[in-house]
Amino acid sequence: MTTEENMIPIEPYLKDFKQYLDANSRCILSAKFGNGKSYFISSFIKEYSNDYLFIPIYPVNYQVMDNKDIFELIKRDILIKLLSSEEININEIELNAASLFYYFFTNNQEDKFLDILSIIPDINIYGIDINISYVIKKLKEVKDKFATYKKQFKSDDETYESYITQFDSLKGSIYEFDTISQLICDIIREYKNKNPTKEVVLIIEDLDRIDPAHIFRILNVFSAHFDRYTPGLVEFDKTCGDNKFCLDKIVTVCDINNIKKIYAHVYGKETDFIGYISKFSNSKAYDYSLTEKIKEFLINTLLDKDLLKYPQICDSLSDLIVSSMDEKSTVKSNLRIIKERIVNANNLIRSKSINLNQRFAGKYITSDSDFTKLLALLKAFGFSFNNLKIESTFDEFVRIIGKYWILAAIFGRNIIFEPCNNNIKVAYYREIRQGIGDWLQSDPIYNCIDGDQILDFDISNWDAEATVPSYIFDQIHNIVNYLNRVFII
């Protein structure tokens, strides 16, 4: 794997969306910009190419076009995608409307044939996977095949001319069904006959990133097909009924909230958006976001393995990191920044020691610990220690701070830590009145000294409400501030 984005496992999402798609002939995949929907779509196409023939199109490419031309470009995109597919064999297609197709390649060569070829570079620029040689080869095959039908029709056949005209006269209307539409329908219908186990899926990408007029032009053309009365047998044979172009599925990809805002801006806030958008999805939009997976990814993949011993702290830290993501940036961009900060965090730790007071006779503690790794991560992301959920995870903080608790004696003059062999005795002098007090003992800390070095220890079994531990634990913020000054760059 070469990018941060594809490190996040999305297989469960792919399976869920497969089930969602199977249940709907028209649906909406909703995701905010930067949440990885393009990666999701490409992964879905790759994973389920044996189940579907996918036709992804990108209307964002049409920004410079007039509104009336948008659907013409959509049809040409669909046709080119079909012709570029290795799964489409023109020689196996039965052309039931041969006169219509012959008209397409004779009477409209300049208008259609050349127009199709002229937009191929634009489509390639924006990343649609098209094999140009396949397109040209198959267009020639179609033209050659139509030539065999030429003798079946007379040039002065009025019935033939009226048959053609009834389609092309509708060009530009929301009910249009011209020669290209018929060609698309026949190719898809014949493909489905040859591949009965596969469904044909049109994917309209990034619909919310185009001009509002284009958005509703596209939606209205498709909805006009959905809204029409039950078609007669002839029309059903041409269009296959439910979806335009004989498509089994139509997936609209967008941020549904953006579409809702645009709709309100164009048609007014009181206009029924739910009623309108329900035409394009048989059920509620499928909401997708990689940000939900980022937290799990951080904990399982990116965080230092030593920190995983403190799951509640990791959970709190990951919440902070995810909340800091730039919503205007892509998941990939955010992950790259997060990964860089985590990887480089340990470089913020100074490699040094703190020499303890005379009571410890020259003993020291080093900067090597799980807690300094946590402090370095907080510094790398610009977080404060107070941003963490300290109270609800206090037991883990007692453990991770470990050996640094003996620094409490710097800030609480009545707190006493005293080495004894490889153990440490702990006490607190409680002053009753001036000059009079008593010593309160706590459990000793065992096996925490190696030569002159203080080792990490665990006092999480102490009763935090007891007098001595409570005085020590009250110094947590003083200890953190001190360590940040001394150990963290």
- Mark whether 42 and 157 lie in a shared domain: yes
Q: What is the pLDDT of residue 433?
A: 79
- Mark whether 178 and 258 lie in a shared domain: yes
If we measure between CA atoms, which residue out of 44, 54, 42 comes closest to residue 14? 44
- Among the residue ranges 132-136, 264-268, 293-297, 365-369, the one predicted with the least confidence is 132-136
Query: Mean pLDDT across the chain, nearest whole number?
Result: 81
* Residue pLDDT, tens place only, 382-412: 999 999 999 999 999 999 999 999 999 999 8
Cβ contact 141:65 at 8 Å: no
* Residue pLDDT, tens place only, 336-345: 899 999 999 9
CA atoms 256, 259, 264, 267: torsion sign: negative
DSSP letter assigned to residue 168: H
DSSP letter assigned to residue 230: P
What is the rounded average pLDDT of the residues 36-46? 89
Q: What is the pLDDT of residue 174?
A: 43
Give the whole-angstrom CA distance, residue 383 versus residue 371.
15
Cβ contact 201:249 at 8 Å: yes
- Mark whether 239 and 343 lie in a shared domain: no
160 in a domain, yes or no? yes
Domain that holds residue 433: 310-487
- Mark whether 281 and 401 lie in a shared domain: no
Give the whole-angstrom CA distance, residue 150 versus residue 104.
12
How many domains, the chain? 2
- Mark whether 282 and 324 lie in a shared domain: no
- Among the residue ranges 21-30, 181-190, 221-230, 275-284, the one predicted with the least confidence is 221-230
300 in a domain, yes or no? no
Token couple for 61: 């490419």
- Mark whether 264 and 314 lie in a shared domain: no
What is the rounded average pLDDT of the residues 349-365? 91
- Mark whether 259 and 340 lie in a shared domain: no
Amino acid code (one letter) for 17: F
Give the whole-angstrom CA distance, residue 234 versus residue 216.
29
pTM of the model: 0.63
- Collapse the DSSP code of 237 into the 3-class scheme (helix H, G, I; strand E, B; otherwise coil) and give the result: helix
267 in a domain, yes or no? yes
294 in a domain, yes or no? no
- Mark whether 372 and 236 lie in a shared domain: no
Q: What is the pLDDT of residue 291?
A: 74
In this prediction, residue 103 has a pLDDT band, given cuts at 50, 70 and 90, of very low
What is the rounded average pLDDT of the residues 94-115? 48
- Mark whether 116 and 11 lie in a shared domain: yes
- Mark whether 462 and 323 lie in a shared domain: yes
Residues ≥6 apart with Cβ < 8 Å to 269: none
15 in a domain, yes or no? yes
292 in a domain, yes or no? no
Token couple for 412: 């609480």
* Residue pLDDT, tens place only, 112-152: 554 544 444 444 333 445 555 566 666 666 666 656 655 55
- Among the residue ranges 176-180, 190-194, 314-318, 485-489, the one predicted with the least confidence is 176-180
Cβ contact 424:448 at 8 Å: yes
Q: What is the pLDDT of residue 269?
A: 87
- Collapse the DSSP code of 184 into the 3-class scheme (helix H, G, I; strand E, B; otherwise coil) and give the result: helix
Token couple for 32: 């905010």
Domain boundary among 252, 287, 322: 287
What is the rounded average pLDDT of the residues 64-93? 77
298 in a domain, yes or no? no
Cβ contact 102:146 at 8 Å: yes
DSSP letter assigned to residue 405: G
* Residue pLDDT, tens place only, 299-336: 988 999 999 999 999 999 999 999 888 777 777 788 88
Q: What is the pLDDT of residue 395?
A: 95
- Mark whether 180 and 94 lie in a shared domain: yes
- Mark whether 274 and 322 lie in a shared domain: no
Cβ contact 370:401 at 8 Å: no
Token couple for 324: 């800091």
Burial 118-139 (b: 16+ CB within 10 A, else e): ebbeebeeeebebeeeebeebb
* Higher-pLDDT residue of 274, 150: 274
Q: What is the pLDDT of residue 459?
A: 96
390 in a domain, yes or no? yes
Geometric angle at alpha carbon 390, from 289 and 440, rounded to 5°: 165
- Percent of the residues in the chain that have a pLDDT greater than 90, as a whole number: 45
Residues ≥6 apart with Cβ < 8 Å to 219: 207, 252, 279, 280
Cβ contact 380:304 at 8 Å: no
Q: What is the pLDDT of residue 331?
A: 75
Residues ≥6 apart with Cβ < 8 Å to 453: 363, 364, 365, 366
Q: What is the pLDDT of residue 270?
A: 86
Q: What is the pLDDT of residue 242?
A: 72
Number of H helices, E strands in the chain: 21, 12
